[in-house]
Amino acid sequence: MLDASRTNYRSFILTMRWARRLMLAFWLALAGIGGSAEAPPGAAPGFDAKVATDGYLRRLSPEQKARSDAYAEGGYWLLLWNFLANVAACAVLLETRLAAGIRDRVARLTRFRPLQTALYWMLFALFSALLTFPLDLYAGYFRERHYGLANQTLTGWLGDWFMNLLVTAILGSPLLMALFGLIRRRPQSWGLWGSAVVVAFIALMNLIAPVFIAPLFNHYTPLNDARIVEPILRMARANGIPVEHVYQFDASRQSTRVSANVSGFLGTDRISLNDNLLKRCSQAEIEAVMGHEMGHYVMHHAYKYVTFATLLVLVGATLLRSGIDRGIAWRGRRWGIASIDDLAVIPLAVGLFSTYLFALTPITNTFIRTQESEADIFGLNASRQPDGFAESMLKLAEYRKLEPGPLEEWIFFDHPSGRTRIGMAMRWKAENLTAR
């Protein structure tokens, strides 16, 4: 009798121990704790957002971090070299009187002044592109391959370079035709009217480029995997985005970078994500990235950017007119330029406006960075995937410095730093765990 009682008691104790273990396993799984050492920080009681952020940042090895930092810091210098190369190309065209020579040549080809303007712009785009080609080749091809970010062959890269030149030449022609028409008809107020034309052009390009220009460089096809598409479309419908399909494009033929966008207007709205995102990211990461992109669309960031650009263009037009007048008075005879409505003034105008935009780099970066931060918050609320968001930031860290200094981030970063964005996601996670 005593032996039977002891046996029953031992069985009861063992049963209770296994029950406790099972319940503990259940709660650990629910909280996201356990598993491999590579798992993201868990959501246990007492979850610390800073500790979780540091845990994600440690996922990059010192070698990976050093490589990312080197790529980003080299990019800072490229901003300067690109600016200097473009200004130098304009200076060469002016000082060699090639700018005046092109003007004379197109004047002999046709008497129709708008056509002269279009032809001049196309030839200017060609000559300036050839003058800056060595730097473009280094920055766009050899440097990208050195850092393991490019998949493209040299032939493929040259094809895209030429297509970009063709698009610039064709789309810039009507813009320049309109601007020079205004300069001739409104010599006193062309700056105001010209600003309106430029802003309208920026707005049009900003809205239609992903739908009509991007397909010139990549092949877009409907994404038919319901496991990926349905959560994205549910998120879109929940946030009032009128789309019925999701598209993928073959960015992997050019690079290893992940990206996506939500774009369009007047019935051209579309959701697009590249095949690198599909191949390299989990479902949680995909949803987090798409939530961010939907944030840009829902919060009308494209239209807000156009408003910001309007202010920049208005100020720039005033400075540009003064700069052109001073330049013509200083070396107009040497360059063969008589007045502001002379087509040969285009290199001078491009050089001056490039200088203006270069000086505004910290301001434009801050505006864009603020919009990106807003989209981050929207994406976290829409997708509810803080760990997916943090994981995707580690992939962006392949070419974006994770932990820049405050001044460095203010000047050079048009997105929040990786530490800032992961920290934001972990704070969102901590607050939502507390709420639950």
Question: What DSSP letter does each residue of 62-104 carry, written as one string?
Answer: HHHHHHHHHHHHHHHHHHHHHHHHHHHHHHHHHHTTHHHHHHH
With cut-offs at 50, 70 and 90, classify the pLDDT of residue 283. very high
pLDDT at 152: 92
Residue 142 has pLDDT above 70, yes or no: yes
Whether 272 and 218 have beta carbons less than 8 Å apart is answered as: no
Residue scoring higher pLDDT (160 or 38) = 160
pLDDT at 262: 87
Look at residue 392 and give its three-state secondary structure.
helix
pLDDT at 265: 64
Whether 69 and 404 have beta carbons less than 8 Å apart is answered as: no
Range with lowest mean pLDDT among 13-17, 330-334, 374-378: 13-17
Range with lowest mean pLDDT among 21-30, 46-55, 237-246, 247-256: 21-30
Look at residue 218 and give its three-state secondary structure.
coil
pLDDT at 9: 35
pLDDT at 204: 83
pTM of the prediction? 0.84
Residue 400 has pLDDT above 90, yes or no: yes
pLDDT at 37: 34
Per-residue pLDDT tens over the stretch 17-51: 444 443 434 333 333 333 333 334 444 467 899 99
pLDDT at 189: 87
Per-residue pLDDT tens over the stretch 354-390: 999 999 999 999 999 999 999 999 999 999 999 999 9
Look at residue 22 and give its three-state secondary structure.
helix
pLDDT at 328: 96
* Rg of the Cα atoms in the chain: 28
With cut-offs at 50, 70 and 90, classify the pLDDT of residue 3. very low
Nearest to 259 by CA among 226, 293, 308, 296: 293
pLDDT (average), residues 227-232? 95
pLDDT at 17: 44
In whole angstroms, what is the distance from residue 184 CA to residue 206 CA? 28
Q: What is the mean pLDDT of the chain?
A: 88
pLDDT (average), residues 268-272? 82
Do the strands 270-274 and 246-249 form a parallel or antiparallel pair, or are they unpaired?
A: parallel
Burial code of 123-144, b = ≥16 C-beta within 10 A, e = fewer?
bbbebbbebbeebbeebbbebb
pLDDT at 46: 75
In whole angstroms, what is the distance from residue 388 CA to residue 383 CA? 9
Pure H helices in 246-300? 275-280, 283-298
Half-sphere exposure of 137 (CA within 13 A, CB side): 9
293 Cβ contact list (under 8 Å, min separation 6): 260, 261, 262, 271, 375, 379
Residue 337 has pLDDT above 60, yes or no: yes
Look at residue 302 and give its three-state secondary structure.
helix
With cut-offs at 50, 70 and 90, classify the pLDDT of residue 211. confident
Nearest to 117 by CA among 178, 177, 183, 194: 177
